[in-house]
């Protein structure tokens, strides 16, 4: 479990557009679109706790192979519901990130999980795949960003391959502990080794945008504000 650190607090004061512009300026990937906010209204930010899902039949085959390789011929395969390990591990300052790329129309997250995560103080969930029970998440005010919505259960369709393992969201690779920010514009992932310079660049851009807005309010023509000022702001200086 992570606790909210200074980087997370700084990230929460920004929005995804400023952070995306900072990534562009630095030549870094990390911005993912097409994952709209399905519940909750607030922007979220924190550290990634990852969950990788695979087809249930592939998971069952892997377990059977594992059992066959154990002396004595069996291992414990007590069922554990997907997402529960991540919830027990995570807390305030954490965002659960789920990969469900099987192509199956099956929930990668659900209502009881949303309640459990909300009670733990987890910031929210980002699911690259379908989620179910979205009305329950809305009732709890728990932020869920997801590729699609469904009513189909994960049972006998998808299963958890691992928690806190590398995953991918869109075309972005995500490692456990990476920084995450998500709002109605995008979901963005920032590797730990890049967080300081991304935040510095994004804070500079946000400051410039605030100054541009002030100029508009003071009567400066918008063509002037959105011309040289805006292009200079996004240029790769410094």
Phi and psi (nearest 5°) for 194?
Answer: -105, -5
Residues 6+ positions from 24 with CB-CB distance below 8 Å? 234
Beta strands in 164-235 (DSSP E): 167-169, 172-174, 179-182, 187-190
Structurally, the chain folds into a number of domains equal to 2
Q: Report yes or no on 212 lying in a domain.
A: yes
Whether the model clears a pTM of 0.85, i.e. scores above it, the answer is yes
pLDDT number for residue 64: 62
pLDDT in tens, 53-62: 999 987 666 6
**Domain span at residue 224?**
198-234
User: What Cα–Cα distance (Å) separates residue 230 from each residue in 108, 129, 225?
Assistant: 40, 36, 7
pLDDT number for residue 186: 98
Below-50 pLDDT ranges, the chain: 72-76, 237-238
Q: Are residues 84 and 181 in the same domain?
A: yes
pLDDT number for residue 73: 40
Read off the CATH number of the domain in which 159 is found: 3.50.30.40
Q: Are residues 220 and 121 in the same domain?
A: no
Q: Are residues 112 and 210 in the same domain?
A: no
> Residue 136 belongs to what H/E stretch?
helix 134-140
């Amino acid at each position: 479990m992570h606790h909210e650190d200074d980087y997370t607090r700084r990230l929460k004061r920004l929005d995804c557009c400023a952070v995306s512009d900072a990534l562009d300026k630095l030549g870094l990937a990390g911005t993912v679109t097409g994952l709209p906010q399905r519940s909750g209204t607030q922007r979220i930010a924190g550290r990634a706790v990852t969950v990788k899902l695979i087809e249930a039949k592939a998971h069952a085959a892997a377990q059977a192979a594992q059992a066959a390789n154990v002396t004595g011929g069996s291992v414990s395969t007590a069922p554990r519901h997907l997402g529960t390990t991540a919830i027990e591990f995570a807390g305030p300052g954490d965002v659960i990130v789920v990969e469900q790329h099987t192509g199956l129309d099956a929930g990668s997250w659900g209502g009881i999980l949303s309640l459990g995560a909300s009670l733990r103080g987890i910031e929210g969930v980002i699911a690259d795949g379908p989620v179910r029970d979205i009305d329950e998440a809305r009732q709890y005010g728990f932020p869920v960003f997801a590729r699609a919505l469904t009513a189909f259960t994960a049972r006998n369709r998808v299963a958890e391959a691992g928690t806190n393992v590398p995953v991918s969201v869109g075309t972005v690779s995500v490692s456990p502990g990476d920084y995450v920010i998500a709002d109605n514009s995008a979901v963005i992932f920032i590797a730990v080794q890049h967080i300081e310079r991304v935040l510095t660049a994004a804070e500079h851009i946000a400051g410039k945008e605030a100054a541009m807005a002030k100029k508009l309010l003071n009567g400066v023509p918008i063509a002037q504000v959105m011309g040289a000022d805006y292009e200079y702001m996004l240029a790769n200086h410094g």
